[in-house]
Structure 1
Amino acid sequence: MANTKQTGDETEAKLIAALVERGYSVSVPFGDNDKYDLILDTGTELFRVQCKTGWIEDDVVRFKTASKTTSDGQVELVGYGGSADAFAVRCKETDARYWVPVDAVGRRNTYLRLSEPEIDHPSVNRADRYRFDANLPEREDG
Structure 2
Amino acid sequence: MNTKDVGDTSEALVLAELTRRGYSVAVPFGDNDRYGLLVDADASLYRVQVKTGWREGDCIRFKTGSQTTADGEATVEEYTDTEIDAFAVRCRDSGGLFWVPLEAAGRKSTYLRVEDAAIDHPRVSYAEEYAFENALPPR
Range of TM-score over shorter length: over 0.9
1:133 aligns with 2:128: no
CA–CA distance in 2 between the matches of 1:71 and 1:103? 29
CA–CA distance in 2 between the matches of 1:30 and 1:38? 10
Residues 113 and 125 in structure 1, CA contact (< 8 A), matched pair in contact too? yes
Q: How does 1:1-142 map to 2 (within 5 A)?
A: 2-71=1-70, 73-82=72-81, 83-139=83-139
CA–CA distance in 2 between the matches of 1:40 and 1:68? 23
CA–CA distance in 2 between the matches of 1:39 and 1:113? 27
CA–CA distance in 2 between the matches of 1:65 and 1:20? 24
Gaps of 5+ in 2: none
Residue identity in the other structure for 1:4: T
| Structure 1 SS opposite 2:34 | coil
How many residues are matched? 138
Residue identity in the other structure for 2:127: A
| Structure 2 SS opposite 1:103 | helix
RMSD after superposition: 1.2
Gaps of 5+ in 1: none
Superposed CA offset, 1:17-63 (max 9, x none): 00000101000000011111000001211000000110001111010
Residue identity in the other structure for 1:114: V
CA–CA distance in 2 between the matches of 1:81 and 1:73? 25
